[in-house]
Chains A and B, each alone.
Chain A
Amino acid sequence: MTLHTHPTDDTSPDLQQLLCRRNDVWRGMAQSQDAKPSVSTGHDVLDATLLNSGWPKHSLIEVCQGCGHAEWQLLRPLLAQTTTGHVALINPPTRPFPPALIQMGIDLDRLIIVEASQKADWMMAVLQLARTEAFTVVIGWQPKQGLSYTELRKCQLASMESQGLLFLFRPDSVLQQSSPAALRISVGVETDHLGVTVVKQRGLLAAATARVQLPLPRVWLGGFLYHKLNQPVLVPVKPKRTQRRHLRSV
């Protein structure tokens, strides 16, 4: 049987062209870095490390942190520059302290908090608010029950439908688990800086992790403690220089 085929039309794209048009297809070592919409992080050194120089839109951004929390220091510039739309905090670890937020320049009128301790409620809230155009930033803290890959995938899909940013704060212990998030970073508070490690960025090879240091506020580094005023100050005593008398030889 002879298969008659029509001559190929010169205007129809071939497979290579079709693949190149999409920026969500993995093509092995041949990675192309198409420009994606992003929002500046507010930290120049972090912007320089991230693809597209900022937080990627339409993507799930996973932030893993240890015992210490660093949410406000990491996101303060972003939230301070958010003048349109609302910011949602879903299941935060505790309630934010308004005087500190006002000092950071964050508009409390636009900050909405949703308390959802049950996983099903948490998922509903994240998916609903992430898809709402009115929210430019949605920040969620993983519920105690943890999140499966499927649930993370749902969050990722919701972020693709959103017009804003979707952050998910999780504990450090999940770094070893795989995640569909487009950007995964690990954050840790150090003595004199905030360490940010970019663990995964969609569009970069897995080995290309980067670590940056963000400065901490001056007051966090400490100052003079007033209660030590009454304590004796130990002044180191310089050893006396013994003068050797050189005996002249007679």
Chain B
Amino acid sequence: MDGYLRPKREQLWLAVRLPHLPLDVLGVHGDDTPIVVAEKRRVEVVVCVNDAAAAAGVTFGMDCTKAQILSDCSVLQRKQPQERHALKDIADGLYRFSPYIQIHDCEPVAQAAVLLEVSTCLTLFGGLLNLIEAIRQFLNATHYRFALGAGHSPQAAWLLSWTHQEITGHDIRADFIEQLKPLPLNLLHDYPDAVAMLEKTGFTTLGDVATQIEGRTITGLKKRLSREFIGHLCDVFGIDQALQQKSLFQKPVTQYHPQEVYRDEIEFEYPVATTELLHIPIETALQNLSDHLRQRQLECQEVVWIFYDIHNRTERVAVRCDVGQSDWRLLYDLTLIQLDNRALSFEVDRMVLECPQTTRTQDRRQTLNFSGLRAQSKHQQDLEVALAKVKAQLGDDAVFKMIYCDHHVPEAMAEAVPVNASCTKDLAPELATAVRPGWLFAQPYKAEMRKRGIYWRGYFELLIGPERIHNDWWESPRARDYYLAQRDDSARFWLFQDLRDGQWYVHGEFA
């Protein structure tokens, strides 16, 4: 405990910047050979260099070809999903130090940081310096290279992480602002256009901007620069935009919620050869999951079963349902349907149940039951259970409903959507009395023009028509004359003649 009392309600942010994240996620740690990470922006450019490549003169934003000529470096492609995953892992790990965590991704320079608000955690860790030491120890155990910065706002901490800031543990807001002033404007990477304009007008450091704000007003800058950039500057310096003075209130900090992945493992005394013997352990595992979800007021839409044999070979079975569940029964039925449709390729020695994503039960809209809606909700539940079982067997695409889309061309008037989607019940006014068939073929069938007349599995007699339908001029041209026609066997069909080539087609049937 350092004995220094920080002013109450003053936030204190730590930035953990990861300057070599693109290289670290690809497993590149050694600096012996020049290695760069490239990304396709307008052209293929370098976004991250290791020390060997930097020593050879390769810089950020350099063309890849030039970098290779300069340093004969190896070029690796950037993997952004892995970077995001790594950031999330680090944030989950830093959750032990503070519950207020944000992730900042600076895309223009391909760097990211995890920002922690630690003002409420200092007592627990015995001061800022002890806290920083604990964070360093945690980060050193990972293989990610990092730089730390501290500030009175997340933006300030991010900027100060680019400097060799000496964190004393006693700094307050005024001290951080003084430390920000000498920093060059080009550190504001997210706003290159605004920085270029400021540099043209003679501003070079953040201190120049601070002097402008303190001496005069921010109004002049507001007229020339974007509102977003002005808001960012105000956040950096802790200024209230409207009052143009030190902000009286701190921005609220949202709490970070690390993702909890439920995992349950069952090991068998002997390898299980048939899926029937798995029914009881599956039921037990799902009941445990159901208890876990209910206790936390959560529900899930997907569970994953991972089966292992004695040689650690795995087989995964994913079970999904449309609506979140906290009860085990539907997931059990769906799991059995999946297992009935597949034979295990080995004898199961160990079985793992994972629930990768959960949602809060309160997030789902609940219908207030004032007037006997309980029967409807039971029907709805029955419907969901039945459709889930059918989809588990046939696939999600096999169950759908049709909706009406307002369009001229018949094939564009119908669309297949998931069962949960809502559909309009109103027709365009001109269609209220139009002649339309009950069935529309997926593709129109070509009819022949014979001596006796139009022929497609029988000769047609035109009864009603024509109705001319053509699409809009900016789409691919289509113009058709539609008729209701009767075939030899009295069946009624919807025919059209394509006005571009004169060909006849059968498009639908009146049933």
Interface pick from A14-22, A125-133, A144-152, A240-248: A125-133
Q: Which residues in B have their C-beta under 8 angstroms from that of A73?
A: 511
- 16 A–B contacts, CB within 8 A, in A order: A67-B489, A67-B491, A68-B489, A70-B511, A95-B442, A96-B439, A97-B414, A97-B436, A104-B438, A113-B399, A115-B399, A125-B393, A134-B379, A189-B490, A219-B464, A227-B465
Closest residue on chain B to residue A103 by CB atoms: B436
B394 contacts A94, C-beta separation under 8 Å: no
B427 contacts A103, C-beta separation under 8 Å: yes
Q: Tell me if A34 is interfacial: C-beta within 8 Å of chain B.
A: no
Q: Tell me if B127 is interfacial: C-beta within 8 Å of chain A.
A: no
In this complex, how many residues of chain B approach chain A with their Cβ under 8 Å: the count is 57
Within 8 A of B (CB), among A96-116: 96-104, 107-109, 111-116
Give the Cβ gap from B181 to chain A, nearest Cβ, in Å: 63
Q: Tell me if A72 is interfacial: C-beta within 8 Å of chain B.
A: yes
From A86, A97, A113, A223, B439 is in contact (CB under 8 Å) with A97
Q: Tell me if B172 is interfacial: C-beta within 8 Å of chain A.
A: no
Given contacts A69-B439, A112-B419, A223-B464, contact A98 B509 (CB under 8 A): no
Q: Which residues in A have their C-beta under 8 angstroms from that of B277?
A: none
Max chain B CB contacts within 10 Å: which of A129, A221, A222? A222
Within 8 A of A (CB), among B406-461: 410, 413-414, 416, 419, 422-423, 425-427, 431-432, 434-442, 457
Q: Tell me if A93 is interfacial: C-beta within 8 Å of chain B.
A: yes
Within 8 A of A (CB), among B263-308: none
The distance in angstroms between the C-alpha atoms of A100 and B437, with both chains bound, is 6
Q: Which residues in B have their C-beta under 8 angstroms from that of A188?
A: 490
Given contacts A95-B402, A100-B438, contact A71 B511 (CB under 8 A): yes
The distance in angstroms between the C-alpha atoms of A98 and B438, with both chains bound, is 8
Contact bitstring A70-100, B, C-beta under 8 A = 1, else 0: 1111000000000001100000111111111
Q: Which residues in B have their C-beta under 8 angstroms from that of A44?
A: none
A interface with B by C-beta (< 8 Å):
66-73, 85-86, 92-104, 107-109, 111-116, 121, 124-125, 128-129, 132-135, 188-191, 219-223, 225-227
From A66, A96, A99, B431 is in contact (CB under 8 Å) with A99
The distance in angstroms between the C-alpha atoms of A177 and B463, with both chains bound, is 37
From A92, A112, A133, B379 is in contact (CB under 8 Å) with A133
Q: Which residues in A have their C-beta under 8 angstroms from that of B410?
A: 97
- Interface of A, secondary structure class, is mixed
B382 contacts A190, C-beta separation under 8 Å: no
Give the Cβ gap from A115 to chain B, nearest Cβ, in Å: 5
From A94, A102, A135, A226, B425 is in contact (CB under 8 Å) with A102
A114 contacts B394, C-beta separation under 8 Å: yes
Q: Which residues in B have their C-beta under 8 angstroms from that of A115?
A: 394, 398-399
Give the Cβ gap from A219 to chain B, nearest Cβ, in Å: 5
Q: Tell me if B403 is interfacial: C-beta within 8 Å of chain A.
A: yes
Q: Tell me if B480 is interfacial: C-beta within 8 Å of chain A.
A: no
B386 contacts A129, C-beta separation under 8 Å: yes
Give the Cβ gap from B495 to chain A, nearest Cβ, in Å: 12
Closest residue on chain A to residue B435 by CB atoms: A219
B423 contacts A132, C-beta separation under 8 Å: no
Give the Cβ gap from A226 to chain B, nearest Cβ, in Å: 6
Contact bitstring B203-230, A, C-beta under 8 A = 1, else 0: 0000000000000000000000000000
Closest residue on chain B to residue A100 by CB atoms: B436
A108 contacts B402, C-beta separation under 8 Å: yes
Closest residue on chain B to residue A107 by CB atoms: B425
Q: Tell me if B135 is interfacial: C-beta within 8 Å of chain A.
A: no
Q: Tell me if B74 is interfacial: C-beta within 8 Å of chain A.
A: no
B466 contacts A227, C-beta separation under 8 Å: yes
Q: Tell me if B243 is interfacial: C-beta within 8 Å of chain A.
A: no
The distance in angstroms between the C-alpha atoms of A44 and B387, with both chains bound, is 35
Q: Tell me if B389 is interfacial: C-beta within 8 Å of chain A.
A: yes
Given contacts A129-B390, A191-B486, contact A108 B404 (CB under 8 A): yes
B465 contacts A226, C-beta separation under 8 Å: yes
Contact bitstring B481-511, A, C-beta under 8 A = 1, else 0: 0011011011110000000000000001111
A220 contacts B484, C-beta separation under 8 Å: yes
The distance in angstroms between the C-alpha atoms of A74 and B445, with both chains bound, is 26
Q: Which residues in B have their C-beta under 8 angstroms from that of A104?
A: 438
